[in-house]
Each structure stands twice: as structure tokens, then as C-alpha cells.
Structure 1
Amino acid sequence: MLRHIFHHRGAAEGCAHFCCTKIEDFGVSFGTFEVFSHVNLHVHCGELTAVIGPNGAGKSTLLRAILGEVPHRGSLRFVDADDRHTGHPVIGYVPQYLRLDVSAPTTVMDLFMACMTARPVWLCSARRYRPRARENLARVHAEHLLDRRLGALSGGELQRVLLALALDPMPNLLLLDEPVSGVDQNGLTLFYEIVADLRAQEDLAILLVSHDLGMVARHADKVVVMAHGIAAQGAPAEVFESPVMERIFGIRPDLRRCCPRGMDAGEEAAAWS
């Protein structure tokens, strides 16, 4: 069950020749309420595509539709460089948060074991899974957290643990749903640096939902503005300097400072809340 939270597979165990996720004429409705419609988006390997927008714009629902957790209209294709269908890739997923009992004695190692085996954790030997868990945590600079209680982790530490879980096995497509919401500045910076390194080293296709304009400007290859559909998409400079930003959000980001003109970090967060 926990493995399903962090990984989604189709018929195949990943695609060796996966190149691009093509989202075409996507739409999601709940009853008579239309969350978004006519979404067309290509997510390429080796690129980080950031999805920004006001609350309720459909950003998280888009990720859930890609995962197959909500019904949708339109087509979703995973193709190679010649635009041929490749089957279904391994998709890694990092949620905004993980509901857990902070008073429980559950450790990071226990969480990895729960994801690595279908058997109850107490019936398995940790020795067998420990090297694999340590190796995955090392990818996100968190191997020292292996025996730490989950309830004792900071927000940034927990999100790095969840990222490590999403990387086992290494996915073709990585979905990040506001993964550092509420994390302090140091933890936020470290998380994005790790994601940038993974994109370069593993040639990952990454789709990130974020409210942090500064980090998006610094790390994204492409930015998508959602407002019940796609209002704008392109390179960060192109999108942030377009009239769409001011029309939808009432602000025009200044990329020289990676935050809106005249706003400090607190004011920027308030504008996007």
C-alpha cells in the first residue's frame, strides 16, 4: 500500500527509451464543476517543468490525473524520441505531506521496509534491506536519518526521506506536489539543489507544483501557469514577464531578485497564499 503512494506503474516496469510525457486536451470535472480543461503539455526527460498558479487552479489535480487517481478526459502518452508509444513508465511521486503519528516509534528504516516488502515489517529482517535504504537516502544527503524516528524529523528532513522513497526504483517521471510547503529556507534550498542534481545525473523528467517563484526561476526549464487550464507556458523569463502574471495574480515577478518587485519574502508568500 505504501509503495503505491510513492510509485505508480503500468504494464511495464519502466521504459528504457522513455523520452517525453505528452498530455493532450486533458480535462477533469467533478460532477458539474470543471477543475480544468484543454490542458496540453509536454514534459521532457532531463527537464524540470514547474506548475504555478493560485489555490484551486487544478495543479494538484493535474498530478493526480497523471497518476490515474482521478478520471480525466483527453490522452496521456509516454513516447520515445521518434514519438512512438513506449508503454507505461515508473512514476515517482512525492506528496505535500505524509500523515503519521508523531508519537509512534516508527523509524525511517521501518518506513523503507514497509515500502520494500509486502510482508509485515516485524516479520522481516532489517539487515537485508538496510544497505538499499542507506543507498537511497544517500542520494538525498539523508543517510544519517536511517534510524531516526519519523516523528523527530524536521519538515525538510521528512520530505527528503519521501523523495528517497520515490527514487526506489529510479523513476522515468518524477511528480512533486508542493514538496517543501512549510519547510524552512535552508531545507527548501537543499531540496531544490538535490532535485536539480537528480535531473542532470539521471535524465529525469520532473513535473513540480510549487508556490516558490524564486526557486522556480532558479531551477525550472519551463514554467506553466494554471488557472483552470493553462494560461501561459514557456521559459521562466518569458512567463514571469508576461501580462498573464499580473492579470491572474496581481503581481509581476522581477527575475533579477527572483521575487515580486517591492515585496519581501513574507509579502510574496502572502500574495501567493
Structure 2
Amino acid sequence: MLRHIFHHRGAAEGCAHFCCTKIEDFGVSFGTFEVFSHVSLHVHCGELTAIIGANGAGKSTLLRAILGEVPHTGSLRFVDADDRRIRPVIGYVPQYLRLDLSAPTTVMDLFMACLTARPVWLFPTRSLRPRIMKNLARVRAEHLIGRRLGALSGGELQRVLLALALDPMPNLLLLDEPVSGVDQSGLTLFYDIVGELRAQEDLAILLISHDLGMVARHADKVVLMEHGIAAAGTPCEVFAAPQMERIFGILPDLRHLEMRAAGEGEEGTVWN
């Protein structure tokens, strides 16, 4: 079902006392090829942790391992404030979703397919419309409810996918380069919405991004991956690390990034 693309949950429908995702000594290998190893990371509620790195560093594979889609070594625990295991709801926004954009499918149809087990044409839309409008309002997209998916811009489609990932409201939100290829205005709006959600809903957010300007402005923590963790800390700490220059071939202007972290400036800085 489409619903499983956006949500992974255990027996419980989330937990109000969810506190931390503890990733300890994580590793993933495919045959003899080691994607990454010895990754240890704690993702706390109310914090946005950004994962950066060159292509092929293992960023997306890490998210897939957290979702249970690929086998891994090490341990993964979701715990409350007393370090007791819980079963959280996990929301997931993929980098892209294969859709037939030539079909007459609307945003409403997509939500109905995700929220109901019965065929869309057999389920009355009236009962679910207020719920769908509420979800779309969270991402400033309620005006898109009747729009055809093929008529949406890249930024609009990603906001719709984010709205799907927020029903039910997750404890942990995973974002895999959610605005890749989106124009600057759409990118800024998406990150502003994610920042609001983090503050209002106390979400733990794990974000993969190539846009270092947006990372500096919005992230609480940054993890630089290179088949493992090459550096971790605040944006300024990681951007000042010598590994940044070695991996990206350029040392970012730290003063420029500090201004972005303070909310100044508009343009993002992207390293691919």
C-alpha cells in the first residue's frame, strides 16, 4: 500500500513520551562492499539533524536501514526519557516518488489511496476531506487538494508528500533529499515549514541535504558521512572541520554560514 511508503510503525501508534532514536555502531554491507560502518548517532525530539556528504557516502542507505528496508549490524533503539524502549511512528519523505503524472489523479485521490484500504472510487470522499485539508494546511498546501498531480511544481509535490508523512503525526520524520531539483522559493518554503513542524510538534527530524546554506540556517546538528561518520557537531563545527575541504574540495565561508544560521541572507549554497 502507498501508506507504507510514508509510514513505518510498530504495534503502538506512536508515543507521547518518545525522546530519542539511538543508533549504535551501525553498519551496512552488500556482499563484500561496505556501504558504511561504525555509525553511532542520537536523534532527539525537537531537533533537526542534517546528514551531508558526497554522493555514495551512505546517507540514503542509513535512512533505509533505520526503516528496516536493508539489513544492518549494530543496534537501533527508540526510547523514552527513562531510556525504555518504545515503538514509534516514523514518517518518511522520499527523494522522489514514481507517479504517472499524465494520469488524472488529484492530490485528493492520492490521499484517499493512502488513507483507505478500499478502492478510492468505493469510498466517499466527504468523510475524509476535513482530515486531508488539515494535513495540507500544515504544509500551506490546502489550495492544492483538487489539483492534478501532473500539474504540481516540484516544490508543491514534495509538500504534498510531506503532508502524507504527517498523518498520523510521526515521532521521527526522515527526509531523504526532499527538495532535490526544487527551485529556490520552493526550497525555502519547504525548510521553513519543516522548522515550524519541529518547533510545534516536538518532532525528531533526520534530513539528508546537499544545501549547506539551508543546513546552517535550520539544523541543530550536522553529521558529515564518508562511509561512516567523518565529523559531527553544530553546523559551524562541522563546516570548520578539515574533512569538509578534503571531501568537497572547498572550505565553506564560515562567516557566511554563521550569518545564515542567524537567519540572514536568502540564497542557498550547494555542493554536489
User: Where does residue 30 of structure 2 map in the other structure?
Assistant: 30
Offset of residue 19 of structure 1: 0.1
User: Where does residue 184 of structure 1 map in the other structure?
Assistant: 183
Offset of residue 26 of structure 1: 0.3
User: Structure 1: how far apart are the matches of 2:38 and 2:234?
Assistant: 20
User: Structure 2: how far apart are the matches of 1:49 and 1:204?
Assistant: 11
Determine if contact 1:95/1:179 at 8 Å carries over to the other structure: yes
User: Where does residue 84 of structure 1 map in the other structure?
Assistant: 84
> Which runs of 5 or more residues in structure 2 are unaligned?
259-266
Measured against aligned partners, the alpha-carbon deviations of 1:181-232 in whole angstroms (never above 9, x if no partner) come to 0000000000000000000000000000000000000000000000000000
User: Where does residue 230 of structure 1 map in the other structure?
Assistant: 229
State whether structure 2 residue 108 is matched by structure 1 residue 109.
yes
User: Structure 1: how far apart are the matches of 2:75 and 2:27?
Assistant: 10
User: Structure 1: how far apart are the matches of 2:146 and 2:247?
Assistant: 46
Measured against aligned partners, the alpha-carbon deviations of 1:106-150 in whole angstroms (never above 9, x if no partner) come to 000000000110111111111111110000000000000000000
Determine if contact 1:217/1:255 at 8 Å carries over to the other structure: no
State whether structure 2 residue 137 is matched by structure 1 residue 138.
yes
Determine if contact 1:177/1:208 at 8 Å carries over to the other structure: yes
User: Where does residue 214 of structure 2 map in the other structure?
Assistant: 215
> Which runs of 5 or more residues in structure 1 are unaligned?
260-264
Offset of residue 258 of structure 1: 3.3
Equivalent positions of 1:35-184 (< 5 A) are 35-85=35-85, 87-184=86-183
Indicate the SS of the match to 2:46. Answer: coil
Offset of residue 257 of structure 1: 2.3
Residue type of the alignment partner of 1:55: N
Residue type of the alignment partner of 2:96: Y
User: Structure 2: how far apart are the matches of 1:79 and 1:223?
Assistant: 21
Offset of residue 79 of structure 1: 0.9
**Percentage of pairs with the same residue:** 84
Report how many aligned residue pairs link the two structures.
264
User: Structure 1: how far apart are the matches of 2:70 and 2:253?
Assistant: 36
Determine if contact 1:47/1:206 at 8 Å carries over to the other structure: yes
Determine if contact 1:174/1:204 at 8 Å carries over to the other structure: yes
Indicate the SS of the match to 1:256. Answer: helix
Residue type of the alignment partner of 1:33: F
User: Where does residue 7 of structure 1 map in the other structure?
Assistant: 7
| TM-align CA RMSD | 1.3
State whether structure 2 residue 209 is matched by structure 1 residue 246.
no
Indicate the SS of the match to 1:126. Answer: coil
Structure 1 stretches of 4+ with a deviation exceeding 2 A read 255-259
Measured against aligned partners, the alpha-carbon deviations of 1:38-82 in whole angstroms (never above 9, x if no partner) come to 000000000000000000000000000000000000100011122
Indicate the SS of the match to 2:256. Answer: coil
TM-score (norm 2): 0.95
User: Structure 1: how far apart are the matches of 2:2 and 2:83?
Assistant: 33
TM-score (norm 1): 0.94
